[in-house]
Chain A
Amino acid sequence: MDADVRQGKPLAARASEPARELRSLGRGWGKLSIRTRLILVATVPQLVYTNVMTWLGNQTLQHALDRMDARLVTFPPLRAALHEIYSEGRLLLYVAVSVAMGLVSALGASVMANQLRKKLDHLREAAGRIARGNLDEPVSVRGRGEIGQIGEALDDVREKLRSRIDLEVASTQLQQDLTLARAVESMFLPRNSEAEWGDAALAAFHRAAPRCSGDLWHHRRDENGVTWVMLGDVAGTGPGPAMIAGAIVTAYRIRVERGELKDPVGLLAGLRETVRATAKDQHPAACSLLSLAEDGALTWWSAGMSALLVRRNDGSITELSSTSHALGAEELSVTEQHLTLAQGELALAFSSGVLELLRAPETQLRELLARTKRASVIATRDALVSAIEHELSQNQREDVTLVLLGRSEKPL
Chain B
Amino acid sequence: MSYINGVFNGEAHPSSSISFFEGGVLQRFTGAALVAHGRRLARALELQGIRAGDRVGILSRNRHEWVLLDLACIALGAVAASLDSKMDLLEPGVLASLDLACLFTDDERYMALAIYRPIGAVAQLIEQCQEPLAHPVRHGPRQAVCLKFTSGSTGRPKGLLAAAESIDSSLEQVEKLFHHDTRDHILVFMPLSLLQQRYWVYSSLRLGHATTITPYESVFPAMAAVCPTVLMGVPGFFHELESLVRMRARRLAAGAPVEGQHLRSAMDAVSGGAVRYLWTGSAPCPVRLIEFFGQLGTPLYNGYGLNETCIISKNAPGADRLGSVGKVLSSKTVSFDARGQILVRSEAPIACRYEITSAPGDNDLFIGEDVVATGDTGHMDEDGYLYITGRIKDLLVMQNGQSIQPGDVERPLLTHEGVDFALVCGDDRPHLSALIWPKSADVDIDAVVAEVNHTLPQHMRLLRYQVMHDLDRSDRQLFTSQMKPIRPTFHERFAQPIELMYTRRPV
Partners in one complex: no
